[in-house]
Amino acid sequence: MNLYDKYKTLFNKYQVNTPLRIAYFMGTREAENGVGKPVRESCYYKTIDGLRNTFESPFKGKSDAFVSQYLKNSEKCANYVYANREGNGNEASGDGYRYRGGGDFQTTFKNGYAKLAKNTGIPFDKNPDLILEEANSLISALEYWKNNGLNKYADLDDLDSISDIVNIGHKTVKIGDANGYNHRKECVNKWKKLVK
């Protein structure tokens, strides 16, 4: 049984219920999270380049020696890169790691988990690991989908807008600039064939 069949009532509640909407949602989900179980962001990096490429802003202008202290330490890395942003406290607060990305579309930051809790009635803000439960992970992604008006872009068969909004946070002028755009395209096309 696929996820759509298992949670059809949830998909209907969020109006992800036409072939294009289902294909875009499931393809985007697969591109973001693979087809496995829900996960939390690891923030475990082995190389300075890998860490810099993923988190440009927090490490901009910092020496390699500075960046290297965040290698191979998920908690320390997340607490640094997500500190003092979107409701998170400073590095010592532990909020960066506590509210790191989680679920199918990687809900991130204290404000993100609080908004999700408010909209769903599920206390994600008090216990972010609730997002690891399959249904909750799906609910978090469907909430994101709804709150960002992504059904509209699915109806238009607009992969670029969906990719930009999910990956960058807003639409951009350039086509295909979202991270993993070609992989996302492959996933959506796969789901278009599966959902007719």
- Where helices occur in the chain by DSSP H, the ranges are 3-6, 8-13, 19-33, 48-54, 56-59, 64-68, 74-81, 95-98, 110-120, 134-147, 150-155, 159-167, 181-194
Mean pLDDT (whole number) for 72-77: 97
Q: 154-169 burial by CB neighbour count: b if 16+ within 10 A, else e?
A: beeebbbbbbbbbbee
Mean pLDDT (whole number) for 115-130: 97
Mean pLDDT (whole number) for 32-44: 83
How many residues are given for the chain? 196
**Tokens, residue 144:** 């994101």
pTM > 0.85: yes or no: yes
Predicted confidence (pLDDT) per residue in 132-180, tens digit:
999 999 999 999 999 999 999 999 999 999 999 998 888 999 998 888 8
**Tokens, residue 8:** 């059809």
Listed range (11-25, 64-78, 81-95, 160-174) with the worst mean pLDDT: 160-174
Predicted confidence (pLDDT) per residue in 39-55, tens digit:
899 999 999 999 999 89
Beta-ladder partners of 107: 102
Residue 3 above 90 pLDDT? no
Residue 10, helix vs strand vs coil: helix
Residues 85 and 107: their CA atoms lie apart, in Å, by 14
Residue 15 above 60 pLDDT? yes
Residue 158, helix vs strand vs coil: coil
**Mean pLDDT of the residues in the chain:** 94
**Tokens, residue 188:** 């959506």
pLDDT-derived band of residue 126, with 50, 70 and 90 as boundaries?
very high
Give CA separation, 188 vs 85, 157, 194, in Å.
Answer: 32, 10, 10
Predicted confidence at residue 33, as pLDDT, reads 80
Residues 26 and 19: their CA atoms lie apart, in Å, by 10
The residue among 179 and 25 whose pLDDT is bigger is 25
- Cβ neighbours for 1, distance < 8 A, ≥ 6 positions apart: none
Predicted confidence at residue 169, as pLDDT, reads 84
Beta-carbon count within 10 A of 15 CB = 12
Contact by Cβ (8 Å): 159, 167: no
pLDDT-derived band of residue 35, with 50, 70 and 90 as boundaries?
low
